[in-house]
Chains A and B, each alone.
Chain A
Amino acid sequence: MSEAAALNWVLFLPLAGALALPLWPRERDDLTRAATLAVMLVQLALAWWLYARFDADVAGLQFETRVPWIASWGVSYQIALDGNNLLLVLLTAFLGPLVVAGAFSAITQDVKLFYAMVLLIQFAMVGTFVAQDLFLFYVFWEAMLIPMFLLIGIWGGPRRIYATLKFVLYTAFGSVLMLAALIYLVYTLQSTSGISSFAFADLMRTRLSLPVQSVLLIAFGLSFAIKVPMVPLHTWLPDAHVEAPTAGSVILAGVLLKMGTYGFMKVGFPLFPDATQAFTPMLMALAVLSIVYGACLALVQDDIKKIIAYSSISHLGYVMLGLLSLELAGIQGAMVQMVSHGLIAAGLFLVVGMIYERCHTRELAAYGGLARLLPVFAVFVLLLTLASVGLPTTSGFTGEFLVLLGAFKSAWPVYQSGNGLPLVWAVAAVSGVVLGALYMLRFAMATLYGPARAPHQPLADLNWREKTILLALVAAVFWLGLFPAEPMRKTELAAKAYQQTVSTSRLPETKR
């Protein structure tokens, strides 16, 4: 099988699975679970094979498929891997089986619909990452919305309807603006250069004046910033996370939030470099605000899920900071941080889900001394907590360290030439690390140590299924923490290309 074909399989396997599920026997939920897991595992195997075959020394797209779709508009079905999406596709494929296996015991109602939705959202997420055509990207971007709407709305907590409508209405508002900007962008390309195309490669050649770039960046950026989410557009996130079932939270924190940062990295910043330069101080301020404000909010929550939800806002602020630093270290740090946060947040939501299944409460005050009651569980919680704090040898350290390095590297020359503001932001971002240690350790201390306390006793420790899931996650966290060299080498050329594109002005040539 050729690599390009394998990439198509990675994309379409979940869709095929979702379409086959309605034909499945109605009363065999165990069969549905097994089949979904099998689909996800095959997808993971193919994705890993592609990762191994990915050539680090080739710049640009690899394993490309390009077929005209709506030929008269220049829309094509164009998918490929490159350094930008390689790790994220792998992350999505890696989390897929864990989400499915994690929901085995939690979801007992409408099982077929549930797994169909998980498969559909998996399809849409992989599609968003691998799309190399803006129209296709938008289609997949929007297609993620509905499965998530149902996942939260059907299997969520008591306030699920409110939470899911809020999630959809927030996200859809961004999408409408993105759609308007997209149409304008493509029309401009057509009228100035005569090319009718939605391919990213062609759109990168559009030259636009600064005001137009700014308006378009705001339209695209709002849509991405809602998804990240950046403060002050974050208010949907805690609601969605708290009400979502564990699987929904894992998908949301693990992959969906990265759509926002990936959107900035792949579409927003490279398409409008001059506007990006102009907005960098403001965006940087928002990124640091997200880091610090998210961390402060996480510090005062009483609901375990909310602590992790707000910590996500804080951790994704680092990704934005790294992307905006335009230093190679910062950009690569942002890429690592995306994957790292995907693994750690997914793991934390999974452990919260496991304890919730046993005790049916997420009140921080309801727990204590779990280290004695559930020793194996406690080990995993502690490892994930430390990774989230950024302990060296875990992936959290690699990502945050590189981002901060990049931020300081880019701020220092500016400081020496008399502008101290970027340096202030970099220093403020470091405080996020300290706050991160505070809120995560508060969470771990309160739940794991002290007098043993839990709403339901006796508690059963993790079973082999849960142990396997968490073991895989923790292994991945350490793999990325101990051996970041290989993934970073595979993404280096893409990071350099990003740095180059965003630093090069693309204003229209002045007519003489």
Chain B
Amino acid sequence: MNLHDALQAMMPEHLLLLGIVGVLVCEIAGRSARLAFGVALACTVVSTLSALGMALDHQPITAPFAGHYSIDAATALSKAVVLALALPVLLIARDECRGAEFPALLLSSLYGIALMLSADSFLTLFLGLELMSLPVYALVLQALRRAASAEAALKYLVLGGTASAMLLMGASLIYGSSGSLASAGYAAALASNDAMVRVGAVLVMLAFFLKSAIVPFHAWAPDAYEGAGVPVTAYMAVLVKAGVVLALVRLLGRANLGSPLLELVAWLPLASIVWGNLAAMRQPTLRRLIAYSSIAHAGYLFYALLAEASTRLQAVVFYVLAYGLLNLLAFAALPPMADERERDRLDNLRGLFHRAPFAALMIGLAMLSLAGIPPLPGFIAKFLIFRNVMAAGHTAYAVAGLVASYLGIYFYLRVIQLMFMSPDARVDAVPASRAATLASFACLAGTLALAVFPGWLIARL
């Protein structure tokens, strides 16, 4: 290990750490939570920029902790994308989650994600995964406004613990046979004929399925999403999911999936797409709807793993960015209401266009893009994944996935129908906060840039 490398290569992480310390100092010094949010925001911005700088530098692979942590240009870019997606979350949260706990916990969780994205060994991966998950359990509970929040947090905690246990079990089985904790061991395990090692490989995969709520491991997601506050839901739906899938892409490396893992990675995500899209049709609140939609989107993301190893990262990063921006756009635009529980009931969105045209247009844009209607970025992201899957020779899976994605169009359109085509719901609205408006403008700008110049990002991944 060389100290200079450790300082430079881990700059995004260091800056997040600086943010955590800064937020805690603010809290101890008794300064306002606003200042803490400002510190967290500034540190995340600088951290994003440093990751982006590394990516655009085309820096070769640097490994400050060889065998455990390394970073190259593509990793740095995916890190920059994830960190950038955290900015709107912080903005949305500023006026909703008063108190400095939120930014401190959020930055800790982000640190975990950043660590996972650079993990070269199961040790770092597990460290990152836990560091990412533990603060989120607390964040879900933080919005304790009703009994359901406690239940949701407990459910999430228990299932998250199960996922960690499965990951550890799988990793130890692989370690038992290879004697190494390196991620490369996973690729070797996939090709191995040893039954024990293969069980290990499947267990690790299942842990990732559980974490990203793939059917049949999805039941925790709608309750957890509904129980949490809006910014926390946004964080779970976008960043946690992104971190988990990107970590899996890194773990798989250059390995191609073989039977039976290939079938597992094709059929369960397909089931997620179908079930997520079907179940979303009957949800009463926007948060539950987004939860089921994110189950379907996790299915698309895992589909990307079916493709050639070299194309996975590109497809997943693009998808994560498009999907993340649009979910955050919808959450940022969601008009606040006096009663938090009533806020995202779909019935209260009736006639939103007449009350708040900007919010309705933004939510509508997000829904259309999530449905994959061109020319919005959600379409290009989906196109990229299915194109790669088809190029890898899995034509039948690709066609099945596309047809299943058709099922999703109805419920996204229903949201638009409620907002634009229904009479006013007569609710007492509270004006949207400036920070949330800023967040929606930022997401809108990102979305438009991604729609008009998708080639820029694709060429750099």
Residues of A at under 8 Å CB distance from B? Answer: 68-73, 75, 110, 113, 138-139, 142-143, 145-146, 149-150, 153-154, 160-161, 165, 168-169, 172-173, 176-177, 179-180, 183-184, 186-187, 190-191
Interface residues on B, range: 20 to 34
B390–A183 touching, CB < 8 Å: yes
CA distance A187 to B354 in the complex (A): 46
A142 vs B369: C-alpha distance when bound (angstroms): 12
Q: Is the CB of A153 within 8 A of B421?
A: yes
When A69-B455, A179-B402 are in contact, do A150 and B420 touch as well, CB less than 8 Å? yes
Residues of the A chain whose Cβ atoms lie less than 8 Å from the Cβ of B391: 187, 190-191
Does B458 count as interface, using CB distance less than 8 angstroms?
yes
Residues 379-427 (chain B) with a chain A CB within 8 angstroms: 379-380, 383, 386-387, 390-391, 395, 398-399, 402-403, 405-406, 409-410, 413, 416-417, 420-421
| Given A113-B353, A183-B383, residue A153 in contact with residue B402 (CB < 8 A) | no
- List of A residues within 8 angstroms of B416 by Cβ: 149-150
User: Can you identify 25 A-B contacts, CB atoms within 8 angstroms?
Assistant: A68-B455, A70-B454, A70-B458, A72-B455, A72-B458, A72-B459, A73-B387, A73-B458, A110-B353, A113-B353, A142-B375, A142-B379, A145-B373, A146-B368, A153-B420, A153-B421, A169-B410, A172-B406, A173-B406, A179-B386, A180-B399, A183-B383, A183-B387, A184-B390, A187-B391
| Residues of chain B contacted by A71 (CB below 8 angstroms) | 455, 459
Q: Does B284 belong to the interface (CB within 8 Å)?
A: no
Closest to A71 in B: B455
B374 within 8 A of A: yes
Task: Tell me the bound Cα distance from A154 to B419 in angstroms.
Answer: 10
User: Known contacts A72-B459, A179-B402: does B387 contact A187 (CB below 8 Å)?
Assistant: yes
Q: How far is the CB of B407 from chain A (nearest CB, A)?
A: 10
Q: How far is the CB of A209 from chain B (nearest CB, A)?
A: 15
Bound Cα distance A177, B375 (Å): 17
Given that A70-B454, A153-B420 are known contacts, is A168 also in contact with B413, CB under 8 Å in the complex? yes
B387 proximity list for chain A (CB < 8 A): 73, 183, 186-187
Q: Contact between B374 and A184 (Cβ–Cβ < 8 Å)? A: no
Specify which chain B residues have a CB less than 8 angstroms from the CB of A139 in the assembled complex. Answer: 374-375, 379
Give CA–CA (A333, B207) in the complex, Å. Answer: 63
Question: Which residues on the A side are within 8 Å of B390 (C-beta)?
Answer: 183-184, 187
Q: With A113-B353, A169-B410 given, is the CB distance from A70 to B402 under 8 Å? A: no
* CB-based contact A176/B375 at 8 Å: no
A109 smallest CB distance to B (angstroms): 9
Closest A residue, CB atoms, query B395: A184
* Ranked 6 nearest A-B pairs via Cβ: A70-B455, A139-B374, A176-B406, A153-B421, A142-B374, A139-B375
In the complex, A143 Cα to B374 Cα: how many Å?
6
Binding site of B, secondary structure by majority: helix, strand, loop or mixed? Answer: helix
A residues near B379, Cβ cutoff 8 Å: 139, 142
Please report which residues of chain B, range 421-461, place their CB below 8 angstroms from some CB of chain A when the two chains form the complex: 421, 454-455, 458-459
Closest CB in chain B relative to A236 CB, distance in Å? 14
- Complex Cα distance, B402 from A138, in Å, reads 15
State the Cβ distance, A201 to closest chain B Cβ, in Å.
21
What is the minimal beta-carbon distance from B335 to any residue of chain A, in angstroms? 18
Report the Cα distance A173→B395, complex, angstroms.
Answer: 18
Closest Cβ–Cβ distance, residue A116 to chain B (whole Å): 10
Q: Are B386 and A183 interface neighbours, CB within 8 A?
A: yes
Chain A contacts of B353 at CB under 8 A? 110, 113
Closest CB of chain A to B278's CB: distance in Å? 14
A145 cross-chain contacts in B, Cβ below 8 A: 373
| B residues less than 8 Å from A70 (CB atoms) | 380, 454-455, 458
By a CB distance below 8 angstroms, the chain B residues around A154 are 420-421
Query: Using Cβ atoms and an 8 Å threshold, which residues of chain B touch A180?
Result: 386, 398-399, 402-403
Most buried by B among A110, A168, A183: A183
Closest B residue, CB atoms, query A76: B455
- What's the nearest-Cβ distance from chain B to residue A40, in Å? 22
- What is the CA–CA distance of A338 and B102 in the complex, to the nearest angstrom? 61
Which one of B368, B403, B420, B421 contacts A176 once the chains associate, using CB atoms below 8 Å?
B403
Nearest to A176 among chain B residues (CB) is: B406
| Known contacts A72-B455, A150-B420, A153-B420, A176 near B413 by CB under 8 Å | no
A168 contacts across to B, CB distance below 8 A:
409, 413
Interface centre among A110, A161, A165, A179 (most CB of B within 10 A): A179
Give the CA-CA distance A183 to B458 in the complex, in Å.
17
Contact at A172–B374, with CB atoms within 8 Å? Answer: no
- B92-142 interface (Cβ within 8 A of A): none
**With a CB–CB cut-off of 8 A, which chain A residues contact B399?**
180
Cα–Cα distance between A457 and B344 once the two chains are bound (Å): 49
CA distance A150 to B455 in the complex (A): 30
| A161 B417 Cβ-Cβ under 8 A | yes
